[in-house]
Structure 1
């Protein structure tokens, strides 16, 4: 499985890349802004894209919709955050994302489970 991580925290990107890589998920790219996310997605065509809800001054929800509006196959996007799912429940339900994973619950099995829905 090929993964793109979109998060403004370099520490999180590094830790997630390491953890996912050890479990056989190949992190093919990372981005920290909406613009970078769209460019990396277009270049890399990942199987799954993890998008932080809060990207500095940008909204991860906007990134999800921009990815879905881009040319090509419908992307598999999972929203992630340090905050609780309840904090964003309405916006998650209205988004085009497959769902939400709290960063502390992020794991290869959780990603695979969400993709299998």
Structure 2
């Protein structure tokens, strides 16, 4: 069972993603509401996959991605973005994100993306 850390500043998005993942045999080992919390949670929990929102307070997803990649160059991070953030997604991929998901989520696409990582 793959362990997942969900990072999003919107609680309802974390809950929705958690419900999808747990329904498909992923173990959600932690949640974070901003990039700074994400980095701390990654260090503590060592998840197999991180879903990381791009737009968040305190530390955005791109900065958090860079910090996580510095901690673990083999980390598997999937960026989560709203429509219209293509430039941020391209930057995230260049930093080392493995894939991305676009809000609103399509359940089958979320599972397919995480299973392919």
| Partner residue, 1:86 | 86
RMSD of aligned Cα (Å): 1.8
Q: How far apart in 2 are the matches of 1:10 and 1:43? A: 21
Confirm or deny: 8 A CA contact 1:85 1:100 kept in the other structure: no
| Partner residue, 1:39 | 40
The gaps in structure 1 that reach 5 residues or longer are none
| Partner residue, 1:68 | 69
TM-score after normalising by structure 2: 0.85
| Partner residue, 1:108 | 111
Confirm or deny: 8 A CA contact 1:7 1:13 kept in the other structure: yes
Q: How far apart in 1 are the matches of 2:92 and 2:37? A: 22
The gaps in structure 2 that reach 5 residues or longer are none
